[in-house]
Every structure is written in C-alpha cells, then in structure tokens.
Structure 1
Amino acid sequence: METFSSELLILRETERKRMEQKLYEAAAEGKVASLQAILEDDRLVLERAMVACFNETPLHIAAMCGHTDFVKEILGRKSGLAGELNLQQSSPLHLASANGHVEIVKALLLVNPDMCLVGDGEGRNPLHLAAMKGRVDVLRELLRVGLNAARNTVDHGETILHLCVKQNQLGTLRLLMETLNDHQFLNSTDEFGNSILHLAVSHKQIQIIRYLVTFTSVGVNVNAINANGLTALDILAQSGRDVKDFDIADCLREAGASRARDINPTLLSNKQTRVPILAKLTQSGWLEKKRDILMVVASLIATMSFQAGVSPPGGVWQDDSEGKHRAGEAVMAYNYPDSYPYFLRFNTISFVTSLSTILLLMSGLPFKRKTFMWILMVIMWLTITSISLTYAFTIVVITPMKDREPLSHVITIAVIVWCCVMTLLLIGHTIRLIERWLWSRGILTLAKPNNNNNNNFKFKPSQWQQRGSSYSDDLNHDQ
C-alpha cells in the first residue's frame, strides 16, 4: 500500500512538472490555444507559477517576447501575475517597456498601474528602461499613467533625463522635457554635480546639446558648475580634441555659456561657487567613505579605555591590608597618588568620547552638514588626545626608576607638541567654519574674478584654420 502511494505521488509530481513545462513553452511561443488547454487540464497551474521558485513567470516570458494575446489571456485569468518580480527584481511591465511592446504595456497598466513606481535590482522603474532604450511610444503610455515615476532617481542621484543623455536617446529626452516642462527638474544634478548638459558635452552629443540650449520652454542653465568647479565649456576644453568640439563650443557660446573662471558668482542663478561646490564633495563623500573606519577606531579606543580602567597599570591588590588597602583596589592609586587621578581622568574622557562617537555615527543625524562634521571631528581629536595622555602616564608608571627621568622628558616634549598641533587644528577648522557661516549669511563675499580672458572659445566661423587655432590656444591656456 505504501509503495502504491509513493508511486502515485511520483506520477503526480511528474505530471505537474510536465504541465509547467508545457505552460512555459506556450508562453515562449505565444500559443493561446495551448494555454487554454493546459488550464482545462490543470486549473491551478498559474497559481503554482506565482509561488514556484522559477526565474520568471509565464507572464514575464510572454511580455518579453511580445505575445500580446497570450498576455491578455493570462491577465484575464490571473491578474496577480502582473505584480510578480523575477530574480532581477523586474516585473513583466519592466520587460515589456524595455522591449517596446506598447499593447502589452497598455494591458499591464490597466491591471496594475502602480508597477510604474517599482524599481528593479538596479533601482530603475519601467519609465527609466523605456527612456534608456528609446521607446518613445511606450514612454508616452507610461507617462500618461505614472507621471510621478519619471521623477524617481537611480544610483548616484541620476534622473531619467541623465539616463536619456547617457544612452544618447534624443527622442525620449524630448518627450520627457516637453511633458514635464519643469525648470528645476531639467537642471537637476547627480551626486557629482553634473547636469544633463555636462553629460551631453562630456559625451560630445551635438544633437542633444543643440536641443538643450534651444529648448526655450523651461531653459537649461548653460553655466551650471559641477562638483569639480567646471562648466560645460570647461569640460569641453579638458576633453580629448574632436572635430565636433568646434561646433559644440559655438553652440554653447551662442547660448551664453562661459568658463567657470569668467563667471561672476553673484550672477549665478543658483548661487553656486567653487567654495560650496567643493565643500559639497567633502560633506557628502568624506563621512560616507570613513564612517565604517571611524566606527572601528572608536570601538577599539572604547575597548582599550575600558580595559585600562578595570585593569590599571600595576594591577589591583589581591588581598586586604589593615588600614592600607583592600582587595580589588588599584595598586597605582597607592604607589602613585599624584599620577593616578590624571590617568583616571584622561582614560575616562577617551572612553566617554569614543562612546559618543559611536552613538553619533549610529544616530542618523545629518552629518553632511558642516556643523555636525565639525562636532564629530572635535570629539575624535579629544578622544585621540586623551588616549595619548593615558598612554603617557601608563608608560611612566611601569618604567623602572633608573630609566624614568629621561623617559619623562621625552614624553613631556611629545605631549606638548601634540597638544600644540591639536590646538592649531582646532583653531584653524573653527575659523573655517565661522568663515563659511559668514559667507552663507552674505556677510562675506567672494572677490570678483578677473574677466580679461573672456575671449576664449570665441571662434570665427569664416576660417576653419582660425577656429582650430583659437580652440587650441584656449586648451593650451588651461594646460
């Protein structure tokens, strides 16, 4: 009886796998009749496809291959498959959008329009994929249903406009700019401060550049400065020489573009200057890269301070002595009564400040702001100075009397030098912080730059040789 039951289970499992195989073959070939026949034999085959550990569902395959009737048949029977994700975190809408299947996109949007907002494994939603692939008709349908999804950013803070430019897709870029018609979004920058004009110039996409500088509905900022302090003209001057460079430079100059050194900071529409731009890199990049290192260092110092506190130099008394000491008390407190309080104070300071550093790093406070960065920096300096002084007292205590005097002189000099360096650093950074605060309040202003070199990149269209010479002179000026 048990053998019969086992054989029956094996037969059922084999039949189930066979039906699933037929289902996926029908999806790949788009055979609606085969799908209907499979569902008549096994009504639960689509339900099992939703919970099975396959890479993709039959709807993924049909949407990717462009089988519109098959997709509509599945959606009519099991609409929940429209929200399923494959191993790459892509939905059927992602695949249909990337491959340009407009009718399938319409069918999927009718069932589950919220999938427009879902990002795949790389953070890209269906609108991003359609824009990158140049699927204008698909993107138009997606914008009609999920306009807000077009404002989502991907890695490195790139917008959908950045993706269009990187993939040289002028058609989708044009559709997005005309549909969104948003000046702020058009001039959005990635985490490196690059606008879409910066990218277009760096990739030397002359058609996109011409469209951007002539798009008068919202207007692109031709003098935007990125995190490296470069405008679009600066990027062009620093790139490798190309025949298209002359046309690009003429196009930018006609739109009013300038070099960063020629721009008056008070005239910038976004009030960007080299100081805040370079500071942006420091704020956003420094702590993100050093957070883990700071956490490890602070943890090690806290461990060292704790160990030194419970096991001070010389150890603790192991027994009680009438009127002298008790077991567990620090030997150093009795043998070096003058040094022990200082040792204890500095060790406690290093312990508390290291714990404070750990707490601040874990608190989620906005450390990209200069004030919090300055506070964290001062705390770390105090921690390192305290642990250094603790080490100095410890070395003096455990050194034999015959070697203590020369060692004390060396340590005293080292401690004085260290404290002077820390004081200078603290004063210097405090002055910088105050200057930046005064600058942000408009109390301090930057000096007006020299405008004697405004003729750079001014080409004469009449002679190619003259244009090449002018462009070369400007490049040589940079070098």
Structure 2
Amino acid sequence: MSGEKLYDAILKGDVTRFREVVQQDPYLIESASFACSRNALHIATLRGQVAMVEEVLNINPQLARDLDSQQSSPLHIAAAEGSLEMVKKLLSVTPEACWWRDCHDMNPIHIAAMNGHEEVLKELLQLNLLAAMERLHRGQTVLHLCVKHRQLNTLKVLVDKFDEFLGAKDDDGETILHLAARSNHQEITEYLVESDKIREFITMDRLSKRSLSMSSKLRSGDRRSLENIKLLQILSTGKTMIEKVAKWNDVAMVVAVLIATMAFQAAVSPPGGVWQEDTPSHSAGKAVMASAHPKIYKHFIRANATAFISSLFTIFLITMNSALPSINLFFVSIAGCAMWVSLAAIGVSYGASLMMTNFMETLSIDHVVAIVVSVFLTVYLSAFLYAFIETMSKKTLPFSLTRDRGREF
C-alpha cells in the first residue's frame, strides 16, 4: 500500500506527498521496486519529474547506481529522454555511469547520440570523451550509430571532436560514409562529402566495390543511390591520390637525402683528390682538378652545388608538407621539380667527374649535359607512356569482367 502511494506521488510530481510517505516509512524509498525492477529514481527520471529527481537524490543518492532489468541506470533513461537538467543532476552524483552499458551494449553517450539529443550529448562529452570511443555491436562506433538513426545534428557534434574515428570501419568494413550512402541517407551523405575532415579517411572497401558493380542494375527511380555511389567513387579516388602522394613523399625524401650526401661528399673529396703539399703553383688542400682542368672543375662545382641545394630544398618542402594537417599539392609539385633538378645536376656532376678519366676525356661539358638530359627525357617519356597504357587498359575492361569480379564481394 505504501509502495502505491509512493508511486502515485512520483507520477504526479507531488514532492510534499512524497516526503510524507517517506517520513512514514524511511526504508520504503530504498526497498521499493516497480515494473522492470526500477526504483523510485528510475520512475522519476522516466516521467521527467526534475524536482522529484532532485528530492530522491537528496534522500538517497545511491539509487542513481541501481540498474533495472534492462541494465539501465537513471542516467541511461535521462539520456534517452533528452532532459539536460536531469542529466546534470545525475552526473553530479554518478559521473562513472557514462561508462555503464545497458542490455543493448550502449552507454548514455550512445543513447543520447542515437536519439538526437544534441545538448545532452555535449554535456556528457564535456565530462567524458573516452566513453564515446567505446565500440558497439559488430565494431560500430558512435558515429555509425548516428548515421544509422539519421541523426545529423549529433553526428556534427561528434565529427568536430573525434578526428580519429572518421575513417573507422565496423566489422563489415564500412565507414560512416559508406553506411550513409548504402542506406540512402542523402542529407548525411552530402554533409560527409563536403567535410574536409572526412575526405582524408574514406577508402574503397568491399561493400562500395559491390555497390559499383551493381550500379548498372539500378532503376531510374534509384537516382539517390546512384548519386551516392558516384560520391564514393570520387572520394575513393581522392583517398587513392593521397596515399600515392604520401608514398611519393617517402621515396622522394630517401632520394633527396642520398643526393645531398653524395653532393656533400663530392665537395669535400673532389675527383682527382687534393694537393697534399704547398708548391709555387698550388697550395695544400686545393683540388687537383681545379689546377689540371679549371674549366671542367668550374662546371663540376656548379652542378654539385645545384644538386646539394635543390636536394636540401626538397627535404625542406617534404618536411613542411608532413607538418601540415593536409597534403599541400603546391608543396608536392615544387618538391618534385626540385628533386628532378637535383637528379639532373648530380648526373652532370658525375659526368664532369668522368671527364677526368680517359673514358670521357674527348667529351666536352656540353656533351655531358646533352647526355644527361637525353637520358632523363627517355626515362620520363617511358614512364609516361607506361602510365597512359595502363590507364587506358583499365578503362577498356569488358563489362562482363567487372560484373564477374563484383560477385566476389
């Protein structure tokens, strides 16, 4: 009988009646259990009775740690209801409840995000960011959960805070963009496509490949699906380019360091060595080449200095590009040009060194430059021709081959 009075007082939000019932039986509030094994605080939170929640917490704050039959704490219920004031009151008593998971394996942050309660989500994240990084069923993140339930506002809140989750994949290999495109969430897909943060993390996975192989089967009414698939293609191409540029940076850095080392060593120990003693015609430490072949030595020094300076410039640009939040194509282009200059210059320097030997003594420095330029043009044109043929062969693949490969996914 006392339990029913207590329940009625909570439902009506009658704080005065609630106090009278508790005064008659001080242990009732602690022992009373209602449907789904919920206590008085669960019921007050579920009914949105803010004043009653505060009253129950004043009498027995330990009730905030009780779980109902669904493993939900009062904070789980407040997050689901979207009551910011109740969330604040419950967090002041049990901040650790942000980590607790209910029977659906979700904590209060997941629940607030799933239900689109933006202000509640911000409050929970302000207290605990790490709890939002907990994975859900089948490896999904809280971002996947927002996309799945079409909650764009809470998704925006999370995107601003979790850069490392933007390219995260679930157990099926889907990123949030793939999930949005596959589910025809047009508004969310457009937001993700326009986000600079998202672009750097999106990759083609087996599901997007399967979607591409099925694009020819789309009906005219499925225009949104086709548009989403095209968006995946565009972003996948961008991601591939970013990966290729990153690999190029690594290779270019190794080559630039090697050229700088070679140029430095050639300057310290020039071809032919240095004079060991002072004589009327030369001094100790001076390059033999400078005395024996002054014209060739002058060209050698110029080419060697050019190789050294351009390689250092390449290293500087690649280092600067690595420090930037995103790849700067202008820096990459300049670094590529500088590396080609350093390669050509070290080639000329090598040719000038060979002119000190009998092998190339009949050649002039102009001949050496012509040979180096010819070799470089031949290599460059060969690489360009190979890339062109490779690209054209991919574009002319028969549809049946593409369709058969799509069945693998």
1:280-310 per-residue CA deviation (whole Å, 9 max, x = no partner) reads xxxxxxxxxxxxxxxxxxxxxxxxxxxxxxx
Tell me the residue number matched to 1:379.
none
Select which of 144, 148, 152 maps to 1:170.
Answer: 152
Offset at residue 265 of structure 1 (A): 12
Q: Which amino acid aligns with 1:134?
A: G
CA distance in 1, matches of 2:126, 2:75: 15
Q: Which amino acid aligns with 2:12?
A: E
Tell me the residue number matched to 1:135.
117
Q: Which amino acid aligns with 2:17?
A: S
1:191-234 per-residue CA deviation (whole Å, 9 max, x = no partner) reads 111111111111011111111122124645332324x6x44963
SS at match of 2:180: helix
Tell me the residue number matched to 1:203.
183
Mean Cα deviation higher: 211-220 or 237-246: 237-246
CA distance in 2, matches of 1:186, 1:239: 30
Q: Which amino acid aligns with 2:227?
A: D
Offset at residue 251 of structure 1 (A): 3.8
Pair 44,69 (structure 1): closer, same or farther in 2 beyond 3 Å? same
CA distance in 2, matches of 1:194, 1:107: 37
CA distance in 2, matches of 1:268, 1:220: 12
Q: Which amino acid aligns with 1:200?
A: A
Select which of 84, 90, 97 maps to 2:66.
Answer: 84
> Are the counterparts in 1 of residues 192 and 198 from structure 2 also a CA contact under 8 Å?
no
Tell me the residue number matched to 2:127.
145
SS at match of 2:145: helix
CA distance in 1, matches of 2:4, 2:180: 47
| Match status 1:194 vs 2:177 | no
SS at match of 1:123: coil
CA distance in 1, matches of 2:147, 2:246: 23
CA distance in 1, matches of 2:92, 2:110: 20
Offset at residue 237 of structure 1 (A): 2.8
CA distance in 2, matches of 1:454, 1:62: 64
Tell me the residue number matched to 2:6.
23
| Match status 1:98 vs 2:98 | no
CA distance in 1, matches of 2:89, 2:238: 49
Offset at residue 179 of structure 1 (A): 2.3
> Are the counterparts in 2 of residues 212 and 220 from structure 1 also a CA contact under 8 Å?
no
Pair 123,69 (structure 1): closer, same or farther in 2 beyond 3 Å? same
CA distance in 1, matches of 2:238, 2:210: 8
Tell me the residue number matched to 1:118.
100
CA distance in 2, matches of 1:123, 1:475: 39
Offset at residue 101 of structure 1 (A): 1.0
Pair 219,253 (structure 1): closer, same or farther in 2 beyond 3 Å? closer
SS at match of 2:37: coil
SS at match of 2:196: coil
CA distance in 2, matches of 1:476, 1:99: 49
Offset at residue 453 of structure 1 (A): 7.5
Tell me the residue number matched to 2:277.
none
Structure 2: which 5+ runs fail to align? 248-386, 397-401
What pairs with 1:28-427 in structure 2 (closer than 5 Å)?
28-49=11-32, 55-180=37-162, 182=163, 184-217=164-197, 219-226=199-206, 230-231=208-209, 234=212, 237=215, 241=219, 242-255=222-235, 257=237, 267=244
1:95-115 per-residue CA deviation (whole Å, 9 max, x = no partner) reads 110111111111101111100
> Are the counterparts in 2 of residues 213 and 222 from structure 1 also a CA contact under 8 Å?
no
> Are the counterparts in 2 of residues 30 and 67 from structure 1 also a CA contact under 8 Å?
yes
CA distance in 2, matches of 1:39, 1:143: 35
CA distance in 2, matches of 1:147, 1:165: 19
CA distance in 2, matches of 1:236, 1:70: 56
> Are the counterparts in 2 of residues 224 and 232 from structure 1 also a CA contact under 8 Å?
no
Pair 117,268 (structure 1): closer, same or farther in 2 beyond 3 Å? farther
Q: Which amino acid aligns with 1:234?
A: L
CA distance in 1, matches of 2:113, 2:80: 8
Pair 454,135 (structure 1): closer, same or farther in 2 beyond 3 Å? farther
1:93-146 per-residue CA deviation (whole Å, 9 max, x = no partner) reads 111101111111111011111000000011100111111111111111111112
1:417-457 per-residue CA deviation (whole Å, 9 max, x = no partner) reads xxxxxxxxxxxxxxxxxxxxxxxxxxxxxxx996447779x
SS at match of 2:38: coil
Pair 212,266 (structure 1): closer, same or farther in 2 beyond 3 Å? closer
Offset at residue 478 of structure 1 (A): 5.9
CA distance in 1, matches of 2:60, 2:217: 54
Pair 246,72 (structure 1): closer, same or farther in 2 beyond 3 Å? same
Tell me the residue number matched to 1:311.
none
1:54-74 per-residue CA deviation (whole Å, 9 max, x = no partner) reads 621111111111110000110
Pair 98,53 (structure 1): closer, same or farther in 2 beyond 3 Å? closer
> Are the counterparts in 2 of residues 231 and 258 from structure 1 also a CA contact under 8 Å?
no
SS at match of 2:161: helix
Offset at residue 147 of structure 1 (A): 1.2
CA distance in 1, matches of 2:3, 2:193: 55
SS at match of 2:106: coil
CA distance in 1, matches of 2:108, 2:223: 36
CA distance in 2, matches of 1:170, 1:217: 16
Q: Which amino acid aligns with 1:33?
A: T
SS at match of 2:89: helix
Q: Which amino acid aligns with 1:172?
A: T
SS at match of 1:179: coil
Offset at residue 187 of structure 1 (A): 1.0
Q: Which amino acid aligns with 2:18?
A: L
Offset at residue 168 of structure 1 (A): 0.9
Pair 57,269 (structure 1): closer, same or farther in 2 beyond 3 Å? farther
CA distance in 2, matches of 1:208, 1:110: 34
Percent identity between the aligned chains? 32
